[in-house]
Chain A
């Protein structure tokens, strides 16, 4: 186990360097961060050259990247467009996005698994077919369409919830955005748990449990569900990274000041430290979530052994 973790951690390094360098390259080599500081005006060449020197931008790209990574590991993520340090932006943005992610995951788990279990147990019946059609429809409608539609219906027309989220973003205001964010993954969780339940329902241990005379409820909750949820749990684990980075659209629609909002602002203003800093953290979250899921998998399913 320990050797496996060390091997995985070592193998993460090239992926981490590659992903961050790719984003770094896009921001610093394709865009021009110094010109962006001046907005619409053309920068004075001498001033621009001075800023370039101060910001280490006159060096070759790989040197800039090494310098940047060096600074990051010392905890210095640079300065955002409004003069705040990127770390303080992160301190306000990540808790908000984390709350949104938690809401989305809870919805995914509760609704997705319930629908999956119901349709998996009634495979081929009308309930099953309608759930499958429903998941297809949910997948086909892009997030920004469902976002605006639900915001309009629940927030404006019927007035059940506040259409936008206040800067504090308490849990109660994040329910609707959480639903919007969760929808596509929800469809996937439903399909995954349906397949898994339908497959395990034919297993010997379920037949044994039924033959023992256990009530159906106990067979499903204790025997069937426990084994069928392993793939679902692993999917949800890896989904955390995707949800945190993928919330740009949702956060924009509901005016949530989280990671996606800050990233969008950073990209609009071509503020390189914000973009690269946030993406670096997101890549780390993604990689660590994947590793944790693989380890969790061994805990949940004793048949898996890591050598």
Chain B
């Protein structure tokens, strides 16, 4: 979790690429967005990657060791990092129980017994019962599925859309680049919870897809900005000039030479964004516009438990703990990956 030194770039009053009303300033790694501090941190982590090429991505370790590629080098680094090991084991566990929740929870999350409403822990039901008399443990386990689904789908969507648009804009520049920056500014101007309330309150669907769609809609500009900056840095390298001199076309240069060297920051920001998207889904569900019953979701459970917090705090604490742990795991994973991919931090 060491912080990188901010790059000493040329003096610039605005963000990279001209006008940028919410762009980062010189000493600031990344500017704040409407998504709040967590997302700002995610962007800060990734932005540090795209700046100085440093000693060069590959072979940074010099003569003592055999030259390794950035990725195998990063993998060697990661395996020795306890933060990475712990968070990836946790994430693996979460993915397994979201696919097969019956592995550790034998009950049915929708089967409830009103006579047991708000009762505390009892044998076989370690987390007690909620207001409807449902087993809190079973519901907490089953709630992982909604969160992980929304998190992974939204991140995939936002990362693909954002890196495609941002990468193309950064590679070709010109009017498409300016257009992308303006469109991104428009999305940055809208506070994210507010936009979610407005957008999702008019949607009447019981599936996770409107929530995923909304998060992609507001999430892609951040990733596009990272991808754009990263591609602009990568395309100035000598090997790109060499490839062009050898007669390679735009498509080949972009896919074979620029993309593999520009993808690292996008991966880091996407990992951390996954955690923040899960928190965002829970917030929207909490406000009553995200996922809807009968979908089992931590946000809904917390929202239902909140008025009863005086009588039965356990109903709130367990789903809230699971949610926080999940978000923490993804943010720590992103942090560890960032550390491994940034050669300057060694």
Contact = CB atoms under 8 A, between A and B. Distances in A.
Nearest to B201: A267
Given A23-B198, A279-B194, A287 B310 contact: no
17 contacts: A14-B182, A139-B327, A140-B325, A144-B286, A149-B320, A156-B309, A188-B32, A195-B6, A231-B25, A234-B28, A238-B31, A242-B36, A249-B286, A268-B201, A275-B198, A287-B189, A305-B13
A26 interface: yes
Nearest to A120: B3
Contacts of B187: 19, 22
Given A263-B197, A279-B198, 14 more contacts: A18-B183, A22-B187, A23-B198, A140-B327, A142-B327, A156-B310, A195-B3, A238-B31, A246-B36, A248-B193, A267-B198, A283-B190, A304-B13, A305-B13
Interface string A257-281: 0000001100110100001000100
B198 to A, nearest CB: 5
Nearest to B326: A140
User: Which of A145, A184, A196, A267 has most chain B Cβ within 10 Å?
Assistant: A145
B25 A152 contact: no
Nearest to A282: B191
B40 interface: yes
A145 B324 contact: yes
A234 B23 CA distance: 11
B130 interface: no
A283 B189 contact: yes
Contact of A15 (B185, B279, B332): B185
Contact of B197 (A133, A144, A267, A305): A267
Interface stretch (A42-50, A207-215, A289-297): A289-297
Given A26-B198, A191-B41, A267-B197, A249 B324 contact: no
B194 to A, nearest CB: 6
A188 B202 contact: no
Contacts of B201: 31, 267-268, 270
Contacts of B279: 140, 142
Nearest to A290: B21
A254 interface: no
Contact of A235 (B14, B32, B182, B193): B32
Contacts of A196: 27
- Which 3 A-B pairs rank lowest in CB-CB distance, beginning with the nearest? A245-B191, A18-B186, A140-B328
User: Which of B44, B185, B187 has most chain A Cβ within 10 Å?
Assistant: B185
Interface in B28-66: 28-29, 31-34, 36-38, 40-41, 44
B27 A231 contact: yes
Given A22-B190, A245-B191, A31 B202 contact: yes
Interface string B142-162: 000000000000000000000
Given A195-B6, A283-B190, A304-B11, A148 B306 contact: yes
A57 interface: no
